[in-house]
Amino acid sequence: METTLFILGVNHRTAPVAVRERLAFAEAEVVPALRRMRGTAASVAEAALLSTCNRVEVIGVASEPARAFDEVARFFGTDRSVDLDSFAASLYRLEGREAIRHLFRVGASLDSMVVGEPQILGQVKLAYALAAEAGTVSLVLHRAFHKTFSVAKRVRKSTLIGHGSVSLSSVAVALAGQIFDTLKDKTVMLMGAGKMAELTAHALASLGIESLLVTSRTFDRAVALARELGGTAVPLENHKPYLRMADIVIGSLAVTRPILTPSDLETVLRERRYRPMFLIDLGVPRNFDERLNTLENIYLYDIDDLDAVANKSLSERQREAEKAAVIVEEEVESFARWMRELEIVPTINDIRQSMEHLRDVELERHRAWLTSLPEAERERVERLTRGLVNKLLHRILSGLRGNGAAAPDPLYTAEVARRLLCEGSGALAAAGDDPDDDGEPV
């Protein structure tokens, strides 16, 4: 029976979040869940559980994947107390090459919602570590996961899959890096407390900035936000004098008319002696007059501009993902070859042993004659027989391995070879006792 890798699960493409969240496992739940699964899913030989916000899947090894799929699906239902029918249609069932390919693609971040995002590899590593802790990993999964890590590394190294900024806040940070040499001596002013604005301010602040000024519709909100982000609150009606200190201004106020106009900033710029300002407008309606971008040393990006930059990076990544797919395909091929060889390893060992044994038997039979020979001659007979056995073995083994690639059932071929060549199971065993073979030197 051929053991094979299988994967059963849901991801962001096959299931809505409402389904995914009900099937999800928290990190602490994974090890006990794997142990429970070993109890209920008898046909699963090895298993790991990968649960992130975008996917829940079991990566396993079984010799009867069809049975394993049923058992694991039922396990999901009972373990998460979810009616099997409610998610059965969202499940993907992959086996063999397809499962290997899927695992490699997940690890290399080709299957992620944001292609190339770096977190997934860490999550796959965690899944492997937890499965190892649960004791549900053995030969095949060890190898499969290590291969996944090396494939991911290779993809990162030889493609630009992780390049470019694809989220609004990372685009804003990257732009700031193209305008300013360092943020260490820069002041950021946050106007309004939109979620995106807060994220962006936080992303900038985490790089180390000189200071953060926070202003909001209500002063209380500004104070709370300033405390949260480690800044100073400024009353909105009194924000103008502070503008001259701000190198980066992030706007997300609810306004009907732009709060910053060219005439405001012309004064500010003069006071700043024309040091550059980066205005990030995340408000809808827009907080900053779009004509501000025409002022010297002012760089204004509104939400659509940032979005456009992010989308360009994203389509860049999609192109790189095609290159990565080629790499994954190569690795799938090499892993599949390893799996096949794994299957015939016992047969190969048997044949080797049997032939070595034959040689020993024959040499033993001719011992009397051999001992009469001078040392050099004896040595030569020794070499001759060993060489013959090795040549034969090599031809048989490479036939088995090479055959495996093309033959519909390599295991069957291996079994035939075993029958033909191994002692106690066929013709050769009898040949060893052939009475006509009197052992005369040829």
Catalytically active residues, by annotation: 53
Segment holding 300, helix H or strand E: strand 298-302
> Toward another protein, which CB reaches closer, 134 or 248?
248
Binding characters for another protein, 305-344, by CB under 8 A (x = yes): x--xx--xx-------------------------------
Among 76, 87, 301, 335, binds another protein (CB under 8 A): 301
Q: How many residues bind another protein (CB under 8 A)?
A: 28
List of residues 6+ apart from 290 with CB closer than 8 A = 300, 302
Cis preceding-peptide flag for 258 (omega within 30 of 0): no
Nearest 5 degrees, angle CA 161-CA 165-CA 170?
140
Residues 6+ apart with CB under 8 A from 155: 108, 109, 110, 161, 324, 327, 328
Q: For another protein, which stretch binds (CB under 8 A), given 40-48, 179-187, 188-196, 249-257?
A: 179-187
Q: Which of 273, 430, 433, 436 binds another protein (CB under 8 A)?
A: 273
Going across the sheet that includes 211-215, the strands are 232-233, 211-215, 187-191, 248-251, 277-281, 298-302
- Choose between 185 and 360: whose C-beta lies nearer to another protein: 185
Which span (80-88, 170-178, 252-260, 391-399) binds another protein, by CB under 8 A?
170-178
303 binds another protein (CB under 8 A): no
412 near another protein (CB under 8 A): no
Amino acid symbol at 231: G
- Site for another protein (CB under 8 A): which residue of 35, 153, 163, 383? 163
Stretch that binds another protein, among 56-64, 227-235, 266-274, 330-338 (CB under 8 A): 266-274
169 contacts another protein (rule: CB under 8 A): no
Encoded one letter per residue, x for contact with another protein by CB under 8 A and - for no contact, window 361-390 reads: ------------------------------
Q: Is 275 in the site for another protein (CB under 8 A)?
A: yes
Two tokens at 48? 């790991």
Does position 148 interact with another protein (CB under 8 A)? The reply is: no
Nearest of 344, 433, 354 to residue 393 by alpha carbon: 354
Which residues, at least 6 apart from 202, have a Cβ–Cβ distance to it below 8 Å? 169, 229
* Least distance in angstroms from the C-beta of 163 to another protein: 5
Could you say whether residue 178 binds another protein (CB under 8 A)? yes
**Shortest distance, CB of residue 332 to another protein, whole angstroms?**
29
CB of 125 to another protein, least distance (A): 25
Contacting residue, 36, 38, 142, 272, with another protein by CB under 8 A = 272
- Which residues, other chains included, contact 222 with Cβ-Cβ below 8 Å and sequence gap of 6+? 193, 214, 215, 216, 233, 234, 235, 236
Query: Does residue 179 belong to the site contacting another protein (CB under 8 A)?
Result: yes
When the beta carbons of 72 and 306 are compared against another protein, the nearer one is 306
* Crossing angle for the helix pair 410-421 and 303-365, to the nearest 10 degrees: 10
Q: Count the alpha carbons within 13 Å of 341 in the hemisphere toward its beta carbon.
A: 11
- Note whether 177 binds another protein by CB under 8 A: yes
Write 173-178 long-range contacts (CB < 8 A, 24+): 173/200, 173/203, 173/204, 173/207, 175/278, 175/299, 175/301, 175/306, 175/309, 176/204, 176/248, 176/278
Tell the burial category of 408 from Cβ atoms under 10 Å away from its Cβ (0-12, 13-18, 19+): exposed
**Residue 171 in contact with another protein, rule: CB under 8 A:** yes
Asked if 175 touches another protein (CB under 8 A), the answer is: yes
The residues of the shown chain that bind another protein, judged by CB under 8 A, are 160, 163-165, 171, 174-175, 177-181, 270, 272-276, 293, 296-297, 299, 301, 305, 308-309, 312-313
